[in-house]
Amino acid sequence: MIRMHVYISGYVQGVCFRAATRHTAAELNLTGWVRNMEDGRVEALFEGDDADVQKAVKWCKTGPPAARVEKVAVFEEHPSGAFADFSIKRF
Q: Catalytic site residues? A: 18, 36
- What 8-state DSSP symbol labels residue 41? -
Asked whether the CA dihedral 50, 91, 21, 86 is positive or negative, the reply is: positive
Instruction: Answer for the pair 79, 45: CB distance below 8 angstroms, yes or no.
Output: no
Tell me the C-alpha distance between 71 and 18, whole Å: 16
Beta-bridge partner residues of 35: 43, 89
